[in-house]
Amino acid sequence: MNRTFKVVFSKVRGTMVVASEAAATPHKKAAKIVIAAAAALAMGTVMAQGWADPEGIEETTDRYKTVEDLTQSQYNYVQSEGKTGFVSISTEGDHVIEGKEIWVTATGSGTQSHALNAKGTGVKLTNTGKIYIQAGKDAKSWSQKGMMAGGGATVVNEGDIVAKNAYGMTVETGVASHIENGVNGTITVLDQGAGIELGGASGSTAVNNGTINVGEITEVRDNLIFGHGVLINTSDNTFENNGTISAEGENASAIEVKGDADRATVILGSTSKVLGKIHFSNTVEDSKLIADGAVDTIDLDSEAEDLELDIRNGANITLKNGNASTYGQVNIDDGRLNASIWQDDNEFKNVTVNEDGIFNIQDLNAGGTEDQEHNQEGVTPHHTLLLAFESVYNLNGGELWVAGSNYQDKLKVGTAATSGTLNIVSGSYTYSTLEVAKKGTVNVQGGELNVTDLAFSAGKENNEGKVTVENGGSLNINGSLTAGGAAEGALTNDGILKLDYKNFFNRTEDGQGWTPEDSNIDLVGGTGVLDLTGFTESYTLERLKQIQDLFGEGMQVSLSEGTLNLEGEDLTDTKASGFYLADQVGQAGNGSFTVTDETTLGSINFGNSETASVSGAGEGKLLTLEGNGSDIFHFDPESKVNAVKATDVQLGSSASSSGNVNVETLEVSGTLNVMGNYTAQNILLNADANATVTGGLDVQTLSGEGTTTVDAGVLKVGLIESDVTLTKDATLVLGTVPPQNPNARADVDQPQVNGKVIIGGASGNDNILTTNHAAGEALRGAINDGKFGEDTEALNGFYVDKTVSVGDTGYIEIGQVGPRGKGIAVGSDVVTVVNMDAFSSGDVVFQAEKVVFNPKGTGVLANLYSTKTLTWVDGTLEAPGNTKAVFKSSNAFLDVQFKDVAADPEAGTSERTDLVVSINDDVTTDADLRGALGSVLAEGANRDNQKVLAAIGSSSSGFVVGEGNDQKLTNDGVRATKEYMVAPVTAGTYNMAYDSMELISNALIQRNLDAKKGLGVWADVFYGSNESDSLYGDSGYSSDIYGGMLGVDFGFGEGARVGAALSIGSGDGDSEDSVSKYSTDSDFWGLSVYAGKDFGGLTFTGDMSYLWLDNDIGGSVAGASASESLDSTVFSLGVRADWKAYEGKVLQVVPHAGVRWASIDVDDYRGLSMDKMNVIEMPIGVTIKGVFETASGWQVAPEIDFTAAPQIGDTEVETIIGDVDVIDNVYNASIGVNAGTDAVRFGLSYKYGFGNDGRSNNTFNLKASYLF
């Protein structure tokens, strides 16, 4: 065996050790990874985990199939042939190999070996020791694996793996499996190999929560030279990094995706840190890199032409320059991407910046000196942002930055040689100049684009430049429009185009008239609204028509800053037809307003007409009513009109339009379009009516034989008695059912849906049906962010927090379900979320004749906090097994069961299915904890407690194994729950009270013994540091207490004295070695009285104190807050006898004994009561004093003391989960010195206390007194 190996150094390893030692739990470690990585950079070069030889360990070829057979602490396994390995586990269950040191060496060109292997579904194998694996003579590095999972198994490394010419962790071929480098795990790659490999079965997953180090790779082996932190080389695999990967050396990469790794997904979590190259080779297709909350600068080298880069959940990613990487699609949702768009750095083919997203472009890339480098001096800097090189930029509410701030300067789209496309999807964007080159395209699909100047390229040949304003979009040009060489109609306006009229007209020489500028007029085409600003004069309808005719049929011209002169006449339907007069009121004197062409008005006045109707011109020529934020109809006060008939009408001309349909019923025939946001009472759709909502419509009742289509809009309805279809990106909100009797409250038995509601399916995806608008949109965001798994970003959503009621004539089909015709049917492409917290026992969730769920759908019982019994379906639940497959418990503490209840004609009850939520009896075998769950999780119990347990019981907490009703707590999960249920104990609140009183009592005793005859005043300043690592069982506490006392006493007679004192202070405490971190911050004050009497060589003292503490408990468990404020008190009585057993000139020996009782009372924590403690201790000890007098008359008295304080009272506090140790015997040793005269004295002392459970107390006192 080759025994000469070099030690590899890294910037990460030393910090990793600090982080892992400090992190006793996965949750502590995860929270510290970012800090650890930052510290690593600051510390410089620290030694990495290196190779260690198996010196003196006998070689073995034995193989093992059970963990129990590994009886030695060290093994040196060698293999020269075959495809076996050292340990192979195939028995279902969790297996842990704790603290072993295992060396594996393989020789021979065909040898395949491993240290630890788990195989089979339900098999999990964890390593907490050290594994050293290497390929020896002729063996291949890729055939030697430290840990390997196969057949659906899971392997976890919570120890150290050193792979020298080998792979740290991998998956086998066949069935997809899972590998994980845990929060305490380290993998070090030396010479050649990979830390984690996904090169076996497709669909496998890997996670790094710890640290992976790759050394500098300098040795060529088998004609190859490589070292990878993570290697993915087969298809459909997913790797997630929540830890640190360091691979900055030569020939090393942090993450390598190559070979046949199509559809690979790499996820960088919020605690991810990657130091080294991330490489996607050109052989890889349809792969993704997802920055899911990561904040990092990454060296991303993409040769894959269609790589998708997703930025979400607050991620902030900076791409290093110089890789000439290619990205097929970039999606920036909630986060920020910082990158250069210079072609030598990055080539982005399609970029979408959604709301809350930021694309921060490093530098401008056009204008100035043509060829220049970043930050180059001596050149004319670029001054234009160029979007070109066959790229498409979609701005969907997000922000486009340059050099760290929102960019609003010159923008050029396309060039003469390469295309560029800018799509404004939603939001508002402003630029000084927009230049559209020959191959540039700008589409304002929605939202608003504001530019000072818009200029098309001057060249006419092959000029394909085009700007399109689509219906719902708005383009505002505040300066000039330059047609250049663009083709006629290159500026197509089907939305709203707003610019100064001088771009189209020139003053005549006499200043009295205007001549048209034909080039710009010819440039504009379309059927939208052309708002000519800057015209502040009055105009007539005749003049407006003359201007409008210049722009061709279909375009409507608005002179919004001018004044319409009606020349004393009413604005009737005849006069208004064909015009855009959004700020004007049309007059319907005879009760009818019917236009003959596309027309826009603010509102219609019916006066005192007996009937009311409005009509468009038909054939797609609508009458649009803006409303302008107010009513769209006007009536005289005495009008009795309660219905308006509407034919071919549109509400709003843009997404920013709004208004109120202020009539009891709007009866619709033909077309009704809703573009803006409008409210209405009742809308009746006649048989020929078709309503389309692309904006927002809030209506109490929607009825009639017509249909409503919601396309990327929001429809909120109280009562549906008509057919509704949602196509794509639409939302249907089931509001409050209006009462049948307007003078009564809502009729609770009235079905809400009595029409056909079809959502998604063949019509489209990404639709939401919800009973709560805000929650529904939050569900859409979660779906779009992929929270429900890969390739789920376009699913439909169904959110329920109140009863969904469907009548006999209605039904709801959501997703791909096929025609049903009755009740509620939910398809496989739907995420259904039921907010369980919104329902109480006896409430009905779904009220319908039939309800069915597709078993392949996704269901979530959200906010499952307590036991309860609901009526899941008031009707028939079809295929109940489907529902059980979709809806499982989201809380390991609670079990959910769907139980059918037959109809009872005698009792008048119909068939139904109940949802019964009960305690999961199998969640833990801990009897104390299990016994407490019933009261804590009872319906109506403290909600804060239930939220914390729900967080612990969540599958994402790390405290749970299993799924659905088969979930169980891990050992850490049991500990975390019990620690929370006694949070005041875990946080050290009881010990803070006890230790504070102990400091006060100690000061009182010392003063009582020192008091002299006469009136004395004294002060004592103290500090105490207390710690125990396992006082409470698996955890302990530490505290720092600061305070002081001020007292006065009077000595009289033969050695008698009485006194009183005030104490004040504060303390900071922390839990130690607990699963979750807790703290206690306390402020206290107290009053004390004391007395003493000397009887020759015997002294009796006594004291009584009362202490008040204001405590702030801090902490969180699995992300749920455990913080609370509560009070505590301590009442203490103590007596003591000191006997001068020996008294010489300079030395005294004083044994002492006493008894002290303290009553500690802490307020209930969130309803979890903990009993009062009656602490009784009997301290016994001896003090040795010296007395010396200086020449100046000062007395100096050093002393030492040894005291034991056995506890004979309560040492435990009774809690909901049983008795918990709080106090134990303490042994104290102190040293001090007092000095002074008869009148003035000073003292300084230090005491050290120790005991079981790692108990360590340190106390310092500084005191002074004056005797009058």
- The whole-angstrom separation of Cα 185 and Cα 208 is 9
Nearest CA to 169 among 202, 203, 204?
204
Q: Tell me which of 22-26, 308-312, 946-950, 1146-1150 is least confident.
A: 22-26
Q: pLDDT tens digit string along 1167-1197?
A: 998 889 999 999 999 999 998 888 888 889 9
% of the chain residues with pLDDT over 90 = 77
Q: Token pair of 119, please? A: 């195989």
Average pLDDT, integer, range 196-200: 96
Task: Output the pLDDT for position 568.
Answer: 84
C-alpha dist (Å) from residue 682 to 289, 650, 664, 721, 808: 49, 16, 6, 11, 21
Task: Output the pLDDT for position 743.
Answer: 56
Does 24 score more than 70 pLDDT? no
How open is the CA angle 273-274-280, to the nearest 5 degrees?
140
Average pLDDT, integer, range 1242-1262: 92
- The whole-angstrom separation of Cα 654 and Cα 652 is 6
Cα dihedral across residues 214, 216, 217, 219: positive or negative: negative
Average pLDDT, integer, range 649-653: 95
% of the chain residues with pLDDT over 70 = 95
Nearest CA to 51 among 18, 9, 17?
9
Task: Output the pLDDT for position 860.
Answer: 95
Does 10 score more than 50 pLDDT? no
Task: Output the pLDDT for position 958.
Answer: 84
Give 353's strand partners.
Answer: 332, 395
Does 762 score more than 80 pLDDT? no
Task: Output the pLDDT for position 1111.
Answer: 96
Report yes or no: 586 and 649 within 8 Å, Cβ to Cβ.
no
pLDDT tier for residue 510 given thresholds of 50, 70 and 90 = low
Cα dihedral across residues 940, 943, 947, 952: positive or negative: negative
Does 111 score more than 80 pLDDT? yes
Task: Output the pLDDT for position 765.
Answer: 84
Average pLDDT, integer, range 497-515: 83
Q: pLDDT tens digit string along 267-289?
A: 999 999 999 999 999 999 999 99
Provide the CA 111 distance to its chain's centre, in angstroms.
46
Q: Cβ contacts of residue 944 below 8 Å, gap of 6+? A: 1121, 1124, 1166
Q: Token pair of 482, please? A: 């330059």
Kindly give the interhelix angle for 971-981 and 927-936, rounded to the nearest 10 degrees: 50
Q: What is the mean pLDDT of the chain?
A: 90
pLDDT tier for residue 1097 given thresholds of 50, 70 and 90 = confident
Average pLDDT, integer, range 1127-1145: 94
pLDDT tier for residue 744 given thresholds of 50, 70 and 90 = low
Q: Is pLDDT larger for residue 574 or for residue 906?
A: 574
- 715-722's contacts with Cβ under 8 Å and 24+ in sequence apart are 716/773, 718/752, 719/750, 719/752, 719/754, 720/752, 720/753, 720/754, 720/755, 720/757, 720/810, 721/754, 721/755, 721/810, 722/685, 722/755
Q: pLDDT tens digit string along 525-537?
A: 999 999 999 999 8
Task: Output the pLDDT for position 962.
Answer: 82
Q: Cβ contacts of residue 527 below 8 Å, gap of 6+? A: 493, 494, 554, 555, 598
- The whole-angstrom separation of Cα 1032 and Cα 635 is 77
Q: Which of 955-959, 1040-1044, 1236-1240 has the highest mean pLDDT?
A: 1040-1044
Q: Tell me which of 34-43, 415-424, 1194-1203 is least confident.
A: 34-43
> HEC states along 544-591?
HHHHHHCCCCCCEEECCCCEECCCCCCCCHHHHCCCEEEEEEEECCCC
Task: Output the pLDDT for position 31.
Answer: 34
Does 66 score more than 80 pLDDT? yes
Nearest CA to 262 among 238, 289, 228, 234?
234
Average pLDDT, integer, range 1006-1031: 90
Does 1070 score more than 50 pLDDT? yes
Give 499's strand partners.
Answer: 477, 532
Task: Output the pLDDT for position 9.
Answer: 28
Task: Output the pLDDT for position 741.
Answer: 61
Q: Tell me which of 38-47, 94-103, 605-614, 1105-1114 is least confident.
A: 38-47
Task: Output the pLDDT for position 221.
Answer: 72
pTM of this structure? 0.78
Q: pLDDT tens digit string along 249-265?
A: 888 999 999 999 999 99
Task: Output the pLDDT for position 33.
Answer: 36
Q: pLDDT tens digit string along 138-180?
A: 889 889 999 999 999 999 999 999 999 999 999 999 999 999 9
